[in-house]
Structure 1
Amino acid sequence: DFESDLCPDLSPESGQESHFTMSPQAAVLFADACGLSDSVLERVLSDQELCRLSFRLGAEWEAILMDLGLPAEAVFRCRSDHSLSTQAAALSGLVLWRRSRGRSATARRLLQSLQAVGVHESVLGEVLTPPSS
């Protein structure tokens, strides 16, 4: 399909935290709401998963990257380098975030930023739940 054609395999790599924090109780509610286990939420997303997520984001991709702690200059560079494709700009930023944060670039951290900018948690749930054949 179109998405898999545009989502090749890429690879992972610590820095400042976002202003968004979550209590342990809220984190449990998040995991319950999107149906993801702790083991899934604690892992770093693959290139394929970041690519699938980039297809599901709209104009909010910039706010998500800022909440994840990417500097405004880096977000601007992603936008200008990929001015014809929101998906490519979002993917570029997500990969940059993962490389800059290493093991702390978890699905849980991404879920927090998605929620902070008003993206429903099911978006990440769809990305992390393998499609049934």
Structure 2
Amino acid sequence: MMDPKHRDLLKKLRLELCLQALADGLVPHYLLQEGLITCDQLEEINSQVTSQRRTMKLLDILPTRGPKAFEIFLDSLTEFPWVRENLVQLCKESHRMPVGKTLELPDSVQESCPSDKLLNILAGKLGSEWEQVLGYLGLDHVELYRCKMQHPYSLHGQAMEGLVKWKQHMGRKATMQCLWKALQDAEVDPSIMQYILQ
């Protein structure tokens, strides 16, 4: 898995990176050459109808390609030196949670039901990880597929649809504790879990 710090950085810059049309140049071909993506994944990227969607698909794939994915991605940005410099600088400025520090959900909120507002914010932060989280929450492949079909071009919409379905299906059993455990099991970035505690 990609370093959570790098994964979080790509999420935060997602829209900005999509505007750069990164997937229309040599970037994906370099990633293929280095073995970071497969031919099928390259075809999947190229099949998207706009440059923004091609870059979005590339950004969906990158975090799943191992611990060296971010470094190789930086090396691929020869046509976009300003993007590379920005990523490197932001990487230096970011601070990871101290090693050994674990987050715990307060007892006072464990049995409470997460609000729609919180779920909406969470949906916006999960990105492509929403499927894994919802899988841990109990949604099956059919339900996940329906979420995708109802919001084909919006990861936020897909995630929110899934979270709402979970809350409706589980009723009072849709607790903060269940949500917290799913986020932990999916190894979601600690910064997202930290946000829930605020």
CA distance in 2, matches of 1:90, 1:76: 11
Aligned length: 98
Partner of 2:134: 65
Pick the structure with more helix per residue. Answer: 2
Which region of structure 1 is more displaced relative to structure 2, 102-111 or 91-100?
A: 102-111
Partner of 2:150: 81
Counterpart AA for 1:48: K
- The alpha carbon displacement at 1:43 in A equals 0.7
Larger Rg: 2
Instruction: Judge conservation of contact 2:151–2:157 (CA < 8 Å) in 1.
Output: yes
- The alpha carbon displacement at 1:47 in A equals 0.6
- Superposition TM-score, scaled by structure 1 size: 0.67
- The alpha carbon displacement at 1:119 in A equals 0.5
Partner of 2:179: 110
Counterpart AA for 1:83: P
CA distance in 2, matches of 1:83, 1:65: 17
- The alpha carbon displacement at 1:35 in A equals 5.1
Q: Give the CA RMSD over aligned residues.
A: 1.7
Q: Percent identity?
A: 38
- Superposition TM-score, scaled by structure 2 size: 0.46
Instruction: Judge conservation of contact 2:114–2:176 (CA < 8 Å) in 1.
Output: yes
Counterpart AA for 1:59: S
What residue ranges of structure 2 are gaps of 5+ in the alignment? 1-100
Residues 20-39 of structure 1 correspond to what in structure 2 (within 5 A)? 33-34=102-103, 36-39=105-108
What residue ranges of structure 1 are gaps of 5+ in the alignment? 1-31
Instruction: Judge conservation of contact 1:35–1:125 (CA < 8 Å) in 2.
Output: no
- The alpha carbon displacement at 1:52 in A equals 0.6
Instruction: Judge conservation of contact 2:127–2:155 (CA < 8 Å) in 1.
Output: yes
- The alpha carbon displacement at 1:117 in A equals 1.2
Q: Show CA shifts across 1:43-74 (max 9, x none).
A: 11011010010011021101111111112101
1:56 and 2:125 are equivalent in the alignment: yes
Stretches of 4+ moved more than 6 A in 1? none
Q: Which structure is higher in RCO with an 8 Å CA cutoff and minimum separation 6?
A: 1
Counterpart secondary structure, 2:128: coil
Alignment equivalent of 1:42, drawn from 111, 122, 130: 111
- The alpha carbon displacement at 1:124 in A equals 3.0
CA distance in 1, matches of 2:159, 2:133: 9
